[in-house]
Amino acid sequence: MSRNADPQFWNDARRHLIRYGGRFEPLIIERARGSYVYDADGRAILDFTSGQMSSLLGHGHPEIAAVVADHAANLDHLFSGMLSRPVVDLARGLAEATPAGLDRVLLLSTGGESNEAAIKMAKLYTGKFEVVGFAQSWHGVTGGAASATYSAGRRGYGPAAVGSLAIPAPNAYRARFERGGQPDWRAELDYGFDLIDSQSSGSLAAFIAEPILSTGGVLELPPGYLAALKRKCEERGMLLILDEAQTGLGRTGHLFAFERDGVVPDILTLSKTLGAGLPLSAVLCSAEVEERCHERGFIFYTTHVSDPLPAAVGLKVLEVVRRDGLTERARQAGARLEAGLRRLQDRFECIGDVRGRGLLLGMEIVADRGSKRPAPELGAAITRACMDLGLSMNIVTLPGLGGVFRIAPPLTVSDEELDLGIDLLGRALETATAAGFTKA
């Protein structure tokens, strides 16, 4: 019998765990190293999602492990009114790594926390309360962050925060606005803000956006969109908050995704990739924003604000990414991965679209390219076949979209591992399409 079937383990899991969404894989993961996780039978599973899209340097990176061991023994946690060198050093490092105007830093634990803090700061700074997001967004599951999250989790909990508004995100594959047969995101953005202006009570505080909406189906904001969005915000006295939980620290081929567009947000939030799999997040803003919020009594005490251990980890992550040229590596590896996915697209009619940037790519599964009709059963079958073959893949399904695989290996992934992943994915597609679906 497989050790993954340990009856005591699964009985305890059923009896004692609160289920928080989706289903658990019928595996017991015992360890992880590099680009692989290993189950109770010792089987290696290639991790094409970097854990929860977070393990930027792979699992068990020796330098990260050394930092954790040192600080766990010597300086792990402090009263929130105390400061340590890792906290100040990381704040300085992030300020130096970002453009002017992102000079003040708050260190927290999760992406939801950092977005919660950013939203509160925007409201306090502007004296307004309305927050606009994308209808396909995911920013967290706490209060204000959940109110700005529209891709899931809104039903059954009562009203969201007053002033929560949304516009559609641009989707070139399923464009709702076209001109001359091409997606017209400018018309869509104008229309979205016409609706916002109609609904607003005159208290627009902020727009919060991901440069690539990951949970929303790996929807990349096209070149020029961020600049146009920033102008919309400035015209209305709003702040622009960019949530780079998954795109930050090199994954897209830029240290920060917004750098491609030459647009500096008023507030930047980082999480997932900053801690490389450990709980660390950050809020960055200008000195002006921080000073005004401080004058108006900004409070964001959390148990682990400014903790030294995760700060030391973030400092090491920033060092490794820059020292080892991992931003450029993400660009090169992403090109190799995208080429492999497009070769599969040539073979399989069910791959409707391949999109994204660097090592954050999406592959949308449809019944056929002509209709672009969603095929959730096929997506689920491909996911199962991947896991059977030893490839961990993550698929998200939203109304109106086919299932979209979010593909985000660590920046340390080797060419051989990328090629293996493409091969395994191709074999999984063969298996799933052989069960009644048509190939190209």
Let me know if 388 is a catalytic residue.
no
For 44-55, letters b (16+ CB in 10 Å) and e give ebbbbbbbebbb
Catalytic residue among 120, 232, 272, 329: 272
Amino acid at 374: P
**What are the tokens at 437?**
């679906």
Strands 130-134 and 164-167: parallel
Residue labelled with tokens 């146009």: 228
Annotated catalytic residue 138 = yes
For residues 116 and 110, what is the distance between their CA atoms, to the nearest angstrom? Answer: 10
194: annotated active-site residue: no
411, 66 Cβ separation under 8 angstroms: no
Q: How many of the other CB atoms lie within 10 Å of CB of 339? A: 12
**For this structure, is 291 an active site residue?**
no
> Among the options 116, 130, 136, 138, which is catalytic?
138
Cβ–Cβ < 8 Å for 145, 116 = yes
d(CA 161, CA 86): 35
Query: Which residue of the set 210, 220, 266, 290 is catalytic?
Result: 210
Please say if 260 is a catalytic residue. no
In the set 128, 220, 244, 246, the catalytic residue is: 246
- Is residue 10 among the annotated active site residues? no
Amino acid at 259: E
Q: Contact, 33 vs 60, CB < 8 A?
A: yes
Q: Give residues with Cβ within 8 angstroms of 69, minimum separation 6.
A: none
Sign, Cα dihedral of 111, 117, 119, 122: negative
Catalytic site positions: 138, 210, 243, 246, 272, 406
